[in-house]
Structure 1
Amino acid sequence: MKQRTNAAAPTHGPAPEPSAGNAPGTAPDGAHPGRSRSGRPLLGQHLLGWPLFGRARSAGAGRTAPRRSGARRRSPLRPAVWLPTAVLLVVLGFAWSAVAEEHPYILPALSEVGRTLVGDPLLFLGNAWATLRIALVGVAFGAGTAFVLALLMSEIPLVRRALMPLAVVLNVTPVVAIAPALVVAFGFGMTPKVVVTAIITFFPVLINVATGLRSVPSPVLHVFQTLHASRLEVLFRLRIPSSLPYTLAALRVVLPLSIVGAVVAEFVAAGSSGGLGTMIRNSAATARLDYVYAAITCLAAMGVLMLALVTAVERRLLFWHDSQQEPSR
């Protein structure tokens, strides 16, 4: 009887205060606002608070949601990231030196390549800028055109059905076969080189952005439809932000690839003057292998720097995405 009396709850006392976890407008117990019970950020919370690419806010809190527990941001300064690459480069350097010592007419010594770079830096910087300018202008035209067409394809099915076969045909056509015709049409200036670079970078951006615009979570899209959002609001506040991981993944591919396109264009344009591609072609014709590999080193450095730039932008904009989290061990 005593236990039963103690267990009985009064019916006329004040109601117990709701816990912080179950208060109206807050997340359930064990869940953080803006996150599921598993700790994963809700994409809708991020996108609903972004006019374009704003920082995500916690529901009702007005401040940035903390990082997921049990996950760490990827840092390029950690030894686990750069140490394997450094060891591999050292091994390749020893292998290069061994081959260069036995066959100096096939590979120049690394010291000789270094002396060539240091001996005339202005020559390499000028030619590197000529190639980089072609690559940047070409990727701007190619990726920009692909992004606009992907937007049209996501909104107008007829445009998607009409353009996709043509894009596939353009992608499978060897650009080396198109380049001479472009030189005939536009001359030996910068224009045919930019067009070649734009063609090479066009298709990856088109496919990735089109896929990202269609890969919108159904629950989030249903929220926008429930709120009677217009097509432009759905496009700019939902589809474009949700396609950002796909767009940056495409840029990680096409920015280094644009350098390849610029070099190919310089190879084909026989009358071109300037550019690392032209330097490689002329140096190979005169058996100056030190200049050939010095120019290749410059191209590799340019590609690495462009990739590092895109990766830094990706870490800044996609702090909420799973690709930027490293599971704790």
Structure 2
Amino acid sequence: MATARIRSASAPRSGPFARPGLAKRTRVGFWLPPLIAFVIAAVLWQLVALNNPYVIPTLDAIGASLVGDAGMYAANMLVTAQEIVIGAAAGILAGFLLAVVMAEFNIVERAVMPLVVVVMVTPIVAIAPALVVAFGFGMTPKYIVTGLVVFFPMLVNSLAGLREVDGRALDVMRTLHASRWEIFRHLRFPGSMPYFFAGLRIALPLAIVGAAVAEFVAAGQQAGLGSLVTVSAAQANLPVTWASIALLCVMGVVLVSLLAIVRKRVLWWSDGETVAR
């Protein structure tokens, strides 16, 4: 009887409440609608490009530019990727650590949050030139701009997750005289992970936007896909402009896809999606 119960509990769920598995993702009905949408968008793009060659380039012109200057695009993509990795990592880490401090000490939130809001509502394009004056013409201003863009969503989501704890579990741990570290390690930190990943879903695409904007407005090295967009647009080189934009889109899709895979591995116990706040 016990063996039968174990087998029943370990058997995969079926019916309307079953988790979407690999079989669902391989069904034609899963990938066919987006494929049709992309094909329609591509056909419309091509039609508009053929009739308006000075507005947008044709898809074959963009593809030819990507193939013909693959080395140039790869070098600039690596520069942008470096800005995203370093800047976003710093912003994500800073946002989460500050959220931990705020969750533990309310006085820190009351003191710091107004300043954070003031910084975040300041247009980033206005901050970037000042950062160049302060830190020079290297990569540092671009890292800071990228980090600032991702900092606020990570702070807000992480803070919400750290405070969204089960009150009964918190009462039990306090009854057992658990320390702040034990409560954080066993209750607040695991409970904040869905919110943390929800913040990442916002922050990672914003990191690409931040890196591109930093390359637009922060003078210095003329490298990166954002700089390539600016230079090629000034020269009316539409294939290079739109090829660079397409690569930025590809980077965003790759980041979001990798995040989805990591989230599924880390939050294997979570069925639902936490809504970002």
Which TM-score applies when normalising by structure 2? 0.90
- Tell me which residue corresponds to 2:84: 135
Q: 1:269 and 1:101, CA in 2 relative to 1: closer, same or farther beyond 3 A? A: same
Looking at structure 2, the residues matched to 179 and 81 of structure 1 have their Cα atoms a distance apart, in angstroms, of: 43
Alignment of 1:209-288 (within 5 A): 209-288=158-237
- Tell me which residue corresponds to 1:197: 146
SS at match of 2:19: strand
Matched, 1:112 2:61: yes
Looking at structure 2, the residues matched to 104 and 254 of structure 1 have their Cα atoms a distance apart, in angstroms, of: 35
Does the CA contact (< 8 Å) of 2:204 and 2:256 recur in 1? yes
Alignment of 1:289-308 (within 5 A): 289-308=238-257
Q: Which has the higher helix share?
A: 2
Deviation at 1:274, TM superposition (A): 1.1
Does the CA contact (< 8 Å) of 2:129 and 2:219 recur in 1? no
Looking at structure 2, the residues matched to 137 and 146 of structure 1 have their Cα atoms a distance apart, in angstroms, of: 14
Matched, 1:184 2:133: yes
Deviation at 1:222, TM superposition (A): 2.6
Looking at structure 2, the residues matched to 183 and 275 of structure 1 have their Cα atoms a distance apart, in angstroms, of: 17
Q: Deviations over 1:257-279 (max 9, x none)?
A: 11111110111123322100111
Looking at structure 2, the residues matched to 193 and 321 of structure 1 have their Cα atoms a distance apart, in angstroms, of: 36
Deviation at 1:166, TM superposition (A): 1.2
- Tell me which residue corresponds to 1:71: 18
Looking at structure 2, the residues matched to 263 and 66 of structure 1 have their Cα atoms a distance apart, in angstroms, of: 48
Looking at structure 2, the residues matched to 68 and 231 of structure 1 have their Cα atoms a distance apart, in angstroms, of: 38
Deviation at 1:81, TM superposition (A): 4.0
Q: 1:181 and 1:67, CA in 2 relative to 1: closer, same or farther beyond 3 A? A: farther
Structure 2 unmatched ranges of 5 or more: none
Looking at structure 1, the residues matched to 255 and 54 of structure 2 have their Cα atoms a distance apart, in angstroms, of: 32
Q: Deviations over 1:120-156 (max 9, x none)?
A: 2111111001001001111111111111100000000
Does the CA contact (< 8 Å) of 2:142 and 2:211 recur in 1? yes
SS at match of 1:71: coil
Deviation at 1:217, TM superposition (A): 1.5
Q: Deviations over 1:208-239 (max 9, x none)?
A: 00000010122222332233321111101110
Deviation at 1:78, TM superposition (A): 4.6
Which TM-score applies when normalising by structure 1? 0.76
Q: 1:81 and 1:171, CA in 2 relative to 1: closer, same or farther beyond 3 A? A: farther
- Tell me which residue corresponds to 1:153: 102
Does the CA contact (< 8 Å) of 2:132 and 2:219 recur in 1? no
Q: 1:236 and 1:73, CA in 2 relative to 1: closer, same or farther beyond 3 A? A: farther
Which deviates the most, 71-80 or 247-256? 71-80
Give the letter for the 1:264 counterpart.
V
Deviation at 1:77, TM superposition (A): 4.3
Give the letter for the 1:111 counterpart.
D
What count of residue pairs does the alignment treat as equivalent?
265
Looking at structure 2, the residues matched to 284 and 236 of structure 1 have their Cα atoms a distance apart, in angstroms, of: 51
Q: 1:77 and 1:159, CA in 2 relative to 1: closer, same or farther beyond 3 A? A: farther
Deviation at 1:167, TM superposition (A): 1.4
Looking at structure 1, the residues matched to 12 and 269 of structure 2 have their Cα atoms a distance apart, in angstroms, of: 8
**Which structure has the greater CA radius of gyration?**
1
- Tell me which residue corresponds to 1:313: 262
Alignment of 1:157-176 (within 5 A): 157-176=106-125
- Tell me which residue corresponds to 1:95: 44
Q: 1:82 and 1:287, CA in 2 relative to 1: closer, same or farther beyond 3 A? A: same
